[in-house]
Amino acid sequence: MTSVSEDTVKQMIQRGQDPKEMLIEACQPECKFWKEKLQRCENTLKNTSSSDPEQTCMYPMRDYVTCVEACVQPRMFKYLTGI
C-alpha cells in the first residue's frame, strides 16, 4: 500500500473529512491481479461486442472492486465512532 499513515486517516475522520478516495488510491496497487483481469476482459469485449452484445465484464469488475474495498474498509472503519 502506498504510504497512507493510520494517523492521517484518523485525523481526517476526526476533522469530518472522508479518507476513502485517498485509501482507494493507496489500495489499488494491492489489487493489480484483479485490475489486469478486468482490463483483459474489457479488451476482449471490445473485439467481441458485435458478435455477443450481452457479454459484460461485470464479474471481473466486481472482483476488482471487492479487492479494493477489502483493503480500504478495515483501514477506515476502525476509526469511526458512534455518538
The full set of domain ranges for the chain reads 6-77
pTM of the full predicted structure? 0.83
Contacts of 11 (CB under 8 A, 6+ apart): none
Confidence band, pLDDT 50/70/90 cuts, at residue 81: confident
pLDDT at 1: 46
**What is the per-residue pLDDT across 10-61, written as a single tens digit (0 to 9) for each?**
999 999 999 999 999 999 999 999 999 999 999 998 888 677 778 899 999 9
Cα-atom radius of gyration of the chain, to the nearest Å?
17
**Predicted pLDDT at 53:** 74
User: What distance in Å separates the CA atoms of residue 42 and residue 31, rounded to the nearest whole number?
Assistant: 17
Write the single-letter amino acid at 21.
Answer: E
Overall average pLDDT of the 61-67 stretch: 98
Residue 80 — pLDDT band, cuts 50, 70, 90? confident
Set of cell numbers at residue 65 = 472492486
